[in-house]
Amino acid sequence: MCNPRRVTVTATREIAEAWQREIVRTVTLSSEVIGEARVQQPLSNTLGTPVLMALESLLVSGQTDNWQETETGYRHDVEGGYVLYEMDEQTLEIVATLGDTVQVEGTATRQLSGELRETLSTEQEGHYYDDGYGGQNQARAETEAGKAAQHSLDQMAEGRLEAVQREAEEAESSPLQNQAQIEAQSQLTQTAQERQAQLSAQATEQLDTVGIRCRQAFNTLLAQAYREAILAYARYQGAENISCQDKTDHLEIEFFLEK
């Protein structure tokens, strides 16, 4: 057996291959939707000024449970909604609310196509022995090197085709993503409006039930206001033996006032 010899095979291939690729981008958006139904009741024509003043004083001083200050007044949350006392207008507003989450998908699709035209070249080596040891002669070495060269060209062609398609996809990715975003936003706006209308209709059906809860909460506050207004009147008139007892379902105030 002699030292191995080397043979080099150079292979060249002209590529002219058309390609097509579909790219898809999907954007998912979600939003909280609130449906409302409300009814408003003026209080200035049903409650006296002293009672309203006492009521507002209680709210401003923070001596009430679960009434939170808002930009226009004070709010008390109940199951299914809330009641709002508007300071400037001296009105009571009952609001029934229902919430839900809507989710949509926006999809944009584009067909890409092109043609790959390139010349590929590779070199592969084979080894043999002058005496053909183990059957490894020059002809066999050239054949094996030629097969290796063709395999290498196949891989190079496949890689270049994939790279060209990927580059084209990357170039279109951002515009396509924006298109999917716009589509999703449009769908979200429409879906949210439709769902909000449905929730508002359902809230209207529940307005009476929510109204009972709201009035119970307000009547508790109103009872405190009546107590403060009556006690203030008694003190102003110089009443004696003033007593006030909060019962389970009513309020007892006693005082003695000389004529």
What is the per-residue pLDDT across 88-118, written as a single tens digit (0 to 9) for each? 899 999 999 999 999 999 999 999 888 888 8
pLDDT band at 255 (very low <50, low <70, confident <90, very high): low
pTM score over 0.85: no
pLDDT tens profile 119-169: 888 888 888 776 666 667 777 877 888 888 888 888 988 888 888 888 888
**Cα separation, 43 vs 218, whole angstroms:** 12
